[in-house]
Amino acid sequence: MAHIEREIVINRPIDEVFDFMADGRNEPQYNPHMLHAEQTSAGPVGPGTQFCTEVTNNGRSREMVYEITAYERPQRLAGRTIKGPINVQSTETFDSVPGGTHFRWVMELEPRGIFKLMSPLVARMMGRNLDTLLANIKRLLEA
């Protein structure tokens, strides 16, 4: 299992950053690999909420489904993939700091199938991808 951890300070209030990240329908705004995301469970976003997404890599699109497993507004979110080429357990933490929010994103990755053979490469690619996502989130929320 690979461990990836990144953090950034976003110059927005903690509640705004948490709410934006909790709603998976926002992900296509900051993830260039995500074509579409929809909430597939009823009710407000919280523990058990599921999102179905369509992601693309190298010209191929795949469906991914993930679920929120912890929702402690506005300090902590956690989730896991239910369907996809990689098992991902993620935890996002949010702390108020002068001028904004310290946002930390931790992922534990366990590739499946053919991706298992390429675990180190997958971890490096996901780390670079996470760097891009954080920069995009910061740019969007601070605009």
For residue 50, give its domain range.
Answer: 2-142
Number of domains in the chain: 1
Looking at the whole model, is its pTM more than 0.85?
A: yes
CATH of the domain at 83: 3.30.530.20
Half-sphere exposure of 2 (CA within 13 A, CB side): 22
pLDDT-flagged residues of the chain (< 50): none
User: Given the DSSP bridges, would you call strands 60-72 and 86-97 parallel, antiparallel or unpaired?
Assistant: unpaired
93-98, long-range: CB < 8 A, 24+ apart: 94/14, 94/17, 94/18, 94/21, 95/14, 96/13, 96/14, 97/9
For 44, the 3-state DSSP assignment is coil
